[in-house]
Amino acid sequence: MAVKIAEIINGKVLCCALAHTEVEIVRIEDDPVRPKLFCKAVHTVNHAPFKGFNRAQYSVLEAAILISRLNRLPMEKIESEIDYLRIGLEKTAGDRELEAWGWLMAIIEKFKAKVKA
């Protein structure tokens, strides 16, 4: 992905971003499981309007978030949420959403197989 130099901070911004906010870390609370970074926005820019997600795109996004919590949520909860998200996916998905959904479902299946082993 192409990046450009941030305008205020020492960092980079994705060229394809619809908007970006440059931040400075003001405090860190260390924690072995979930450290917290407290930031202050120093510069915000809108490059183009966000036109939203269709139901399939939303389903893929939410499934990805669930996958990030595979070690913290009961599998029954994840499967229940996936079943609900699948409804929107099946009604509005294009090739890109179906491909991404397949990747995500493969991750869940791999996790389940690892837990059984």
In this structure, are 71 and 106 located in the same domain? yes
pLDDT, one tens digit per residue, over 25-52 is 999 999 998 999 999 999 999 999 999 9
In this structure, are 60 and 108 located in the same domain? yes
Q: Which pLDDT band, with edges at 50, 70 and 90, does 117 fall under?
A: confident
pLDDT, one tens digit per residue, over 51-80 is 999 999 999 999 999 999 999 999 999 999
Q: How far apart are CA 93 and CA 90, in angstroms?
A: 6
Pick the closest to residue 22 from 38, 7, 3, 2 (CA basis): 7
**DSSP 8-state symbol, 42:** E
Six token digits for residue 39: 């930031």
Cite the DSSP H helix spans in the chain. Answer: 55-67, 75-92, 95-116
In this structure, are 62 and 39 located in the same domain? no
In this structure, are 42 and 61 located in the same domain? no
The answer to pTM > 0.75 is no
- The domain of 93 spans 55-116
How many structural domains compose the chain? 2
